[in-house]
Amino acid sequence: MSDDQRPDEEINAVADAAIDHMEALAAENAVLKEQVLRFAADAENTKRRAEREANDARAFAIQKFARDLLTVADTLGRALAAPPETADSAMKNFLVGVEMTEKALLNAFETNGLKQVLPGKGEKFDPHKHQAMMEQPTTEVSAGGIIQTLQPGYELLGRLVRPAMVVVAAKGSTGPEDKAGGATYPGASEAGSGGTVDTRA
């Protein structure tokens, strides 16, 4: 072998070694990148799980207190449902005070994640949010639609505390269809109180 060939072989050997080293580094980099992405995903999942658990703990902690306050809200609502006709300025001021108290209470509910479930007329019965107290035939609402809300329900941070108590259109009702769609009513006559309702909180 000539002296001229030796440097070429040495250069090729060094080049091959450099290529092998670069390929090894690229493979190691890919593994590390995959690990970083996996760790980032795990961290994000842990963060979401911690937030969900914190919300659950908060909801559990104030759930009983919230239920107790619903009785106060119901009483105020009934008091304002049919206010007496009066010319007495003191009575009128009293009624205004009751209205302001109810409004402040509902605002406090909203601020703390307690939201009303108040279905409108014609809305489809949802067994996860509503409790059917009775069913009636009607020409104003299609079968399975809500005719009237007897008592509003409440959700606490997205979890049902109390279902809305409703009157539902019976099978054979001929009212217009609800454009919003929704769950169909399974029938209230068998169980008396209507379809099943999820009351877990």
Which of 152, 179, 142, 147 has the alpha carbon at shortest distance from 71? 152
Q: Which residues contact 119 (CB under 8 A, 6 or more apart)?
A: 126, 129, 130, 146, 149, 164, 166
Position 5 scores a pLDDT of 56
Position 149 scores a pLDDT of 92
pLDDT cut 90: percent of the chain above it: 27
Last residue of a domain, one of 111, 134, 162: 111
Please report, as a single letter, which amino acid is at residue 68: D
Q: Which residue pairs, CB below 8 angstroms and at least 24 apart, start in 44-50?
A: none
For 90-121, how does the pLDDT look when each residue is reduced to its tens digit (9 = 90+)? Answer: 888 888 888 999 999 989 888 888 889 999 89
Residue 188 per-residue DSSP state: S
Q: Which residues contact 136 (CB under 8 A, 6 or more apart)?
A: 147, 167, 168, 169, 170
Q: Which parts of the chain have pLDDT scores under 70? A: 1-6, 177-201
- 138 with 103, same domain: the answer is no
Range of the domain at 138: 115-201
What residue has token string 């703390």? 112
For 27-49, how does the pLDDT look when each residue is reduced to its tens digit (9 = 90+)? Answer: 889 999 999 999 999 999 999 99
Residues 130, 154: Cα–Cα separation, whole Å: 10
Q: What is the mean pLDDT of the chain?
A: 80
- 91 with 138, same domain: the answer is no
- 11 with 106, same domain: the answer is yes
Last residue of a domain, one of 76, 111, 146: 111
Last residue of a domain, one of 72, 89, 111: 111
- 42 with 75, same domain: the answer is yes
